[in-house]
Amino acid sequence: MKVSYHGHSVVKIETNGKTILIDPFINGNELTDLKAEDEKPDVIILTHGHNDHVGDTVELAKKNDSLVIANHELATYLSWQLVKTHPMHIGGAYEFDFGKVKFTQAFHGSGLITDGNEIIYMGMPAGLLLFIEGKTIYHAGDTGLFSDMKLIGERHPIDLAFLPIGDNFTMGPEDAAEAARFLKPKKVVPIHYNTFPPIKQDPHKFVEMLDGCEGQVMSAGDVIEY
């Protein structure tokens, strides 16, 4: 299995002949190394409905007949765009042909902002637990720190955690380091930083705050293999 990071909150997983993209914000993301026209995901998983996470989902899904996994409201909206979807919600898990996905809580917002100055409610934001090839990957989505991260880590020992550190809209480095102490993953990768001025952070300083687990700063295109 190959797990790669591609700027902002974009994570790609290649496993069992499938390519999975999480939060594929590509066009408009100056930190990504991806080109939307080159990507061929079999599956797209979305943490919530903000534009910088839904990103290029509709175009990618239509072009590649991708399955989009998202919370019920967001999945319903995307199905109206003629996208193939599998709706889920917080606390629920489902076994797919590539592995199991479980949605966890996240403390954030979730609304799609349209060109017509409308905000469309997109259901509750979420984090993701992925159980693939005997490994557990946690993508926290956009969230603040919450104490039930302890429960997530206790019930599901985590091999790799992607945690937002940008502050302003999500946890900052100090809270993300505390989240890592709650979750107790084997490895932590910082995400959701430096894309916009309000979330400018030094990921190396975040890694220095970690104790009890390994931290790895990933540049766009870097890969972790299992």
Residue-wise pLDDT tens digits, 124-138: 999 999 999 999 999
- Specify if 225 maps to a domain: no
- Specify if 226 maps to a domain: no
- CA distances to 94, 103, 140, 194 from 152, rounded to whole Å, are 17, 11, 11, 27
Q: Is the dihedral of CA 190, 132, 34, 107 positive or negative?
A: negative
The domain of 71 spans: 2-109+118-218
Question: Mean pLDDT across the stretch 69-75?
Answer: 98
pTM for the full predicted model: 0.97
- Specify if 223 maps to a domain: no
The predicted pLDDT at position 56 comes to: 98
The predicted pLDDT at position 114 comes to: 87
- Specify if 224 maps to a domain: no
Question: Mean pLDDT across the stretch 78-102?
Answer: 98
173: CATH: 3.60.15.10
Question: Mean pLDDT across the stretch 80-88?
Answer: 97
Q: Which residue, 90, 91, 86, is CA-closest to 43?
A: 86
- Specify if 211 maps to a domain: yes
CB atoms within 10 A of CB 99: 21
